[in-house]
Amino acid sequence: MTTFNEKNGVPLGEGLLSPDGSVKDKDLSGNLRSYKARVAGSYRAALPEEISSEIKAGKYWVSPKVDGELWFLILGDGSPWLASPKGKVISGKIPLLEEAVSASSKIEGRTVVAGELFAAVKSGRPRVGDLKSAMGGQKKAEVERLGFSAFDLVQGGTNSSKMPLEDYGEKLAVLQQLFEGGKRLKAIQTHEMGKPDEISGLFDELVNGGKAEGLVARSEKGIVYKLKPSISLDMVILGYTERTSDASQVRSILLALMREDGQFQIISGCGNLGTDENRTMLMKKLKPECVEAELHFASGSGEVYRFVKPETVVEVRVTDIQAENTSGDAIKSMVLQFSENKWMPVTPMPSASLLHPVLLRERDDKSVNTNDVRFSQLLERTHVDSTDQTIQLTELPKSNLLERMVWTKDNKGKKAVQKLLVWKTGKDTKDSNFPAYVVHWTDYSQGRKDPLKREVRLAPNEKIAKAIGADMIEAKIKKGWEEIKLQ
Which CATH number characterizes residue 147's domain? Answer: 3.30.470.30
Q: How far apart are CA 46 and CA 53, in angstroms?
A: 10
Contact 151, 114 (CB under 8 A): yes
| 142 and 169 share one domain | yes
Q: How far apart are CA 402 and CA 313, in angstroms?
A: 38
Burial class, 144, CB count within 10 angstroms (exposed 0-12 / middle 13-18 / buried 19+): middle
Return the H-helix or E-strand segment holding 277.
helix 276-286
Q: Is residue 4 part of a domain?
A: no
For residue 480, pLDDT beyond 90: no
Q: Residue 36 is which amino acid? A: K
User: φ, ψ for residue 317 (rounded to 5)?
Assistant: -100, 135
First to last CA, the chain: 68
Q: Is residue 138 part of a domain?
A: yes
| Average confidence score pLDDT of the chain | 89
Q: How far apart are CA 460 and CA 479, in angstroms?
A: 32
| 347 and 419 share one domain | no
| 297 and 431 share one domain | no
What tens digit of pLDDT does each residue of 357-386 get?
A: 999 989 887 889 988 899 988 876 677 866
> Would you state the pLDDT for residue 68?
87
pLDDT band, residue 1 (cuts 50/70/90): very low
Q: Is residue 3 part of a domain?
A: no
| 30 and 147 share one domain | yes
- Decide which of 376 and 201 is more confident: 201
Over residues 153-162, mean pLDDT: 91
| 61 and 83 share one domain | yes
> Would you state the pLDDT for residue 397?
79
Q: Is residue 387 part of a domain?
A: no
What tens digit of pLDDT does each residue of 206-256 get?
A: 999 988 889 999 999 888 988 988 888 999 999 999 998 888 999 999 999
| 353 and 477 share one domain | no
Q: How far apart are CA 487 and CA 9, in angstroms?
A: 61
> Would you state the pLDDT for residue 392?
60
Q: Is residue 168 part of a domain?
A: yes
Total number of domains constituting the chain: 3
pLDDT band, residue 167 (cuts 50/70/90): confident
Q: How far apart are CA 54 and CA 148, in angstroms?
A: 30
| 457 and 478 share one domain | yes
| 171 and 207 share one domain | yes
| 239 and 219 share one domain | no
What tens digit of pLDDT does each residue of 246-292 get?
A: 889 999 999 999 998 899 999 999 999 999 999 999 999 999 999 99
DSSP 75-91: ESSSS-EEE-TT--EEE
Over residues 1-6, mean pLDDT: 75
Q: Is residue 129 part of a domain?
A: yes
Q: Residue 39 is which amino acid? A: V
Q: How far apart are CA 54 and CA 45, in angstroms?
A: 10
Q: Which sign, positive or negative, has the C-alpha torsion 44, 171, 381, 387?
A: negative
Contact 19, 4 (CB under 8 A): no
Last residue of a domain, one of 174, 204, 227: 227
Q: Could you list the residue range(s) of the whole structural domain that residue 202 is in?
A: 10-227
Count Cβ atoms below 10 Å from residue 205 Cβ, excluding itself. Answer: 12
Last residue of a domain, one of 345, 380, 415: 380
| 217 and 239 share one domain | no
Q: How far apart are CA 155 and CA 75, in angstroms?
A: 10
For residue 52, pLDDT beyond 50: yes
Contact 14, 92 (CB under 8 A): yes
Q: Is residue 394 part of a domain?
A: no
For residue 89, pLDDT beyond 60: yes
> Would you state the pLDDT for residue 431?
67
**b/e code 171-187 from CB counts within 10 Å (16+ = b):** bbbbbeebbeebebbbb
Asked which of 37-51, 86-100, 138-152, 295-309 is least confident by mean pLDDT, the reply is 37-51
CA angle in degrees (0–180, nearest 5) for 204-207-57? 55
| 222 and 251 share one domain | no
**Can you give the C-alpha Rg of the chain in angstroms?**
27
Contact 385, 330 (CB under 8 A): yes
Single out the residue of 62, 99, 65, 64 nearest to residue 79, CA to CA.
99
DSSP 416-477: EEEEEEEEE-S-TTT-TTS-SEEEEEEEEETTSSS-EEEEEEEESSHHHHHHHHHHHHHHH-
Return the H-helix or E-strand segment holding 63.
strand 60-65
Which CATH number characterizes residue 370's domain? Answer: 2.40.50.140
Q: Is residue 475 part of a domain?
A: yes
| 99 and 216 share one domain | yes
Over residues 328-357, mean pLDDT: 89
